[in-house]
Structure 1
Amino acid sequence: MSLVSALVLALAGAGFGTWAADTWPWPKDRYCWGAWEEDSGPGFLGDEAFGDDDDGSRTSEETTPTRERPIGTCKVSIASDFESSYDGDKVTVDQQVSVEYGPVPKAAEARLKMIQDGFLGGNMVPLPDGLPGTVNGRGGLLVLPESCDTRDGRPTVVTMRASGTYTSDSSSAQSDPADLGGVRQAAVLLVAVANHGMEAAGCAPDEPLKVSSPVYDLPGERELIFSAGDVCGIRGLHLDTDDIEDQTGAATRDLQTCSVQGSRDGLAYLQLAMVAQPRLAAVFDGIVGERPVARGWRGTGRIGKEHAIVRADCAGRPATFLMGVSTDPDHLAAFANAAAARLGCAPIAPKGAAR
């Protein structure tokens, strides 16, 4: 036997033939500080993300949090161009999954815009297993343990968002977010990247956070609201406009969310939330003011240009009531009193405030 033949046989015995069949066990790519592995389940991490494109690309840009600078970002980008096997159109797909790790902003309006506008809408539900945060099929927010707080006491959070566009010869760009694999899988991805971020920043708990339960509370469907109808299922809460629809995300002891938007244009009209989960509510510490929002209201709060916030004791613990887009005190009063009644505590706003 020649030396070359012997070498070929040796390589085959060692698995060279497997490599030739494209199943050689090369290390899989990992993304976002090592948290996510290629082909580990969600669509955006597998070949299905590329559609009919055999040459699609998946790239990652990241900045890892450290003890000295506990701020980090990560973005996984998917790009593909192919001819549709359905109608022959040329298709271009650009998708992203973006992660941010860092403390909540100091300024009240910036913090409310980030947390309430981004992660307390009617399309969000609580994370499972009592984890302090919210999630849906396009992303979520997780508040990290106190060991990760800043020196001035602000909580650190991890946020995740999926986005993307789909463009073809016969249509303009359409929203086509990266596939996270559903609500529960999104929660798993969020918790995994949070664990790796905390390890890098040196504030991880003794036991890593984990998702072990299903997500029981799923966002409700959008429902058309007829003229002068109650929105968010709250008696007496009306908007003086037609062609609107609402969506309720959660109605638990810890969290209640609802959003109202235009049924035709998708324009936001109202966003409401009640947060009583202690660690999630901590993201609003320091911005609730020191006085009632008006005479007769319980607790303290403030009404700004785009957001309103009130915090009051309710059923033995603090509850935070939030309103975005609208700053009409009557809307906040109707929601806060309805949420308080559901929790079994006294009204937040005085009688007649919501008229």
Structure 2
Amino acid sequence: MSEEKAVEENPVTDAEATPVPEAPRPPLARRLLRSRTVRAATAAALAGALLGAGTVAWRTDTLPLAGSSAPCWDSLGSGSMDALFGDRRTEVDEQSLHDDPMGGTGAYGQCRITSYEGDRARRQVTVNVRRLDGLRGTDAQDWPREFLSSGMVSLGDGLPGMASSSRAWIALPQACTGRDDFTGPTVVDIGMGRADFEVSPDEAPRDRTALTGALIDAANGVIDGFGCSGTYREPRDLHPPVLWDSTRTSMFCGIKGLALPAAYRKELRETRASGEGGPAQVCEAGYDSDETAVRLTTVTDPALSEIYSSDALHSGAPVKGTRGYGKIGGNRAVFKALCQTGPVMFVLEQLRPAGKGSRFTFTRDLLPAYVAAEAERIGCGPQKLTLPAP
């Protein structure tokens, strides 16, 4: 972590409130235009009233432009750029932050940075700002597949996000972005290469640290662009990397009280669990680390859990619980528990056949025990489920 990031004038910590908006808060268009990066967009794009008309402007920089500051909405400083790309030449394709297309508060945008050795592209990093959807369920599968995987760990230090060596994300403060019912949080996420792909165990911690530093820089830049005060502080110590391990059938995925049925013990030999303490806990299991067959996801963050709200209502046959409800389909089940701390989502997915006879019955066989054991762990039990008839 660079010296300039080690001390923040107004850090956000566990004991402090997340950044709060200035009052009165200016309209989105005016806030975004305060950014030097947005002001550097072409006059033609500005003349076209890109925000009001819903048009999105892109610009590409190979070398720093006069009056321009840093890539990705003036957020990524030299420390983050050096950690990600070293001294390689970089090109930046930056999309102006623009209004939420669903009409909510907040903005959307994307920034891609590609590094080159000669004419050969060596590394590409993509930063997104997006409001996760909970009303229609459009972000209930693709986004979690990349950003809620077992290879990710909590950022810690009260930061609402997770990181791996190829992906990282953080939720922006709701006091800054606003939030309506049935919508997920506005997040900044960053990706490099294929999700959960590690070049080598030696490089993975370095890549994860570099991605995390860039993520915090980008999030703080977006918070400032929204006209809000406060900053996120870079994590002091990330949790250790998550490794694959042999399946413990009496404590499947490390969950006390959850036993793996005998029919699946031959196929589900390797597991990897992201551990506790973050917005979500994820476990994946398969015959080996390259063949993930099942995924168990417990989302304890109330705002993040909203991305599964539509699936809990509309994605299969009804599941009743002691204090909650859900749906179960052929290879996916989503149950929403109503806990003292807010809604908690339990998501059980079977990605490929497992068990004797290559069956797709894992969700039905494990869902009641999984929800009961996890609800007990997080202090949300007892929870007893009733499944529909087969």
Runs of 4+ aligned residues of structure 1 deviating over 4 Å after TM superposition are: 26-29, 39-42, 106-109, 149-153, 174-180
Aligned to 1:45: 85
Instruction: Determine the C-alpha separation between the residues in 2 that align with 1:352 and 1:180.
Output: 42
The one of 10, 28, 32 aligned to 2:72? 32
Count of aligned pairs between the two proteins: 298
Confirm or deny: 8 A CA contact 1:121 1:257 kept in the other structure: yes
**What do residues 174-207 of structure 1 show as CA deviations (whole Å, max 9, x unaligned)?**
974998834344333212212223444x3x4321
- Counterpart code for 1:44: L
Matches within 5 A, 1:1-355: 30-38=70-78, 40=80, 42-47=82-87, 57-67=89-99, 70-80=107-117, 94-105=122-133, 109-146=137-174, 147-149=176-178, 154=183, 155-163=185-193, 176=199, 181-200=206-225, 202=226, 204-215=227-238, 217-225=239-247, 231-234=252-255, 235-238=258-261, 239=264, 241-242=266-267, 244-252=269-277, 255-263=280-288, 266-285=290-309, 287-289=311-313, 293-296=318-321, 298-304=323-329, 307-314=332-339, 316-326=341-351, 328-350=363-385
**What do residues 114-146 of structure 1 show as CA deviations (whole Å, max 9, x unaligned)?**
342122221111222222221122221222222
Distance 1:156 1:351, change over 3 A: closer
Instruction: Determine the C-alpha separation between the residues in 2 that align with 1:306 and 1:29.
Output: 48
Distance 1:191 1:252, change over 3 A: same
For structure 1, the residue ranges without an aligned partner over 5 or more in a row are: 1-25, 51-56, 83-91, 165-173
Confirm or deny: 8 A CA contact 1:102 1:158 kept in the other structure: yes
Distance 1:180 1:44, change over 3 A: farther
Confirm or deny: 8 A CA contact 2:171 2:187 kept in the other structure: yes
The structural deviation recorded for 1:270 is 1.2
Tell which has more relative contact order, 1 or 2 (C-alpha 8 A, sep 6+): 2
SS at 2:149 equivalent = coil
Instruction: Determine the C-alpha separation between the residues in 1 that align with 2:279 and 2:98.
Output: 32
**What do residues 278-335 of structure 1 show as CA deviations (whole Å, max 9, x unaligned)?**
3333444555328994245540222346543211133554322122335613333232
Confirm or deny: 8 A CA contact 2:110 2:128 kept in the other structure: yes
Distance 1:137 1:253, change over 3 A: closer
Instruction: Determine the C-alpha separation between the residues in 1 that align with 2:281 and 2:377.
Output: 10
**Could you tell me the percent identity over the aligned residues?**
21
- Counterpart code for 1:159: D
- Counterpart code for 1:114: D
Distance 1:308 1:110, change over 3 A: farther
Structure with greater helix share of residues: 2
Question: Larger Cα Rg: Structure 1 or Structure 2?
Answer: 1
The structural deviation recorded for 1:108 is 5.1
Confirm or deny: 8 A CA contact 2:135 2:310 kept in the other structure: no
For structure 2, the residue ranges without an aligned partner over 5 or more in a row are: 1-65, 102-106, 352-361
**What do residues 45-84 of structure 1 show as CA deviations (whole Å, max 9, x unaligned)?**
312xx5xxxxxx32111102135762111111123369xx
Distance 1:247 1:209, change over 3 A: same
The structural deviation recorded for 1:250 is 1.6
Instruction: Determine the C-alpha separation between the residues in 1 that align with 2:273 and 2:114.
Output: 31
TM-score (norm 2): 0.64
Confirm or deny: 8 A CA contact 1:139 1:162 kept in the other structure: yes
